Amino acid sequence: MAGLPFPPSFVSIMDTVNPMWLASIFSGIIMCIIVYKLTGVLSLLCFNGYGKLTKAQKIEWNNRGFSTFHAIVVASASFYLLMLSGLFDEDSHDELIINRSSDISNSVLGVSIGYFLADLAMILWYFPALGGLEYVLHHGLSVYSIILALLSGQAQIYILMILFSESTTPFVNLRWYLDVAGQKSSKLYVSNGVLLFLGWLVARIILFICFFTHMFIHFDQVKKVFPLGFYSLLSVPPVLGVMNVVWFWKIARGLIKTLSRAKNHSQ
């Protein structure tokens, strides 16, 4: 609002904006556009049924192409940063875990912001064909949280943990692809359903339990996050966690139906 200055903490954060971050966000958007186009071209060449899809199905097909690509990239990068790089090892740095970041982690967050913005734009443009209000909420909260972590350099460990949960996205998309291709009765569809269930259990249920446990153990550090970031850490992850549980329940019900149908076909 005009005449009302931003809080000093927010101004100091905005002063740290790095051109490299803007470049990574732009790269994320360009990545989505390129993979969207490539998905259409390659699918037309490699999948006979692609040309028979409706316009709406082709749009969603291509959209899920860059969704899958982003998921593989950020999940791999998050796993490296969290488990292999040593960046967040307890005793590897003098700096508090909550304040640790690197050029790689900043770039990963920037690319993800670009992806979520591009995907959100498509969801809103074609609403509700590509997803309902729950997807708008999920993407909006994701962009908000990642931007805060990127600008402040704080709580990146928690953002990367959440980004690793994107590792389930390829299984979600493959299920949709197989459904559209008329392969719901195939062994691949059943196997993918089992892997989706297990992957979701690990990456979006158990991981979130580890997330909240880590926050509880390191709450003395969490309290040192700037105010808006601190309250966001206390509010946004629980909302995402509830959404993950609801989706997990739907996945479990879908798997039960798939296994029952497969059993009936085999008899």
Would you tell me how many other CB atoms lie within 10 Å of the CB of residue 190? 19
pLDDT at 125: 97
Q: How many residues does the structure list for the chain?
A: 267
CA pair distance 226, 152, nearest whole angstrom: 8
Low-confidence ranges of the chain (pLDDT < 50): 1-8
DSSP structure class, residue 186: S
pLDDT at 110: 97
Q: What is the pLDDT of residues 163-176, one digit of tens each?
A: 999 999 999 999 99
Please, are residues 11 and 91 in contact by the beta-carbon 8 Å criterion?
no
Percentage above 70 pLDDT, the chain: 93
pTM of the predicted protein model: 0.91
Q: Which of 125, 101, 119 is nearest to 20 (CA)?
A: 101
pLDDT at 166: 96
Residue 9 has phi, psi (to 5 degrees) of: -65, -40
Is the sign of the CA dihedral 49, 50, 51, 53 positive or negative? Answer: positive
pLDDT at 3: 41
DSSP structure class, residue 99: G
pLDDT at 15: 60
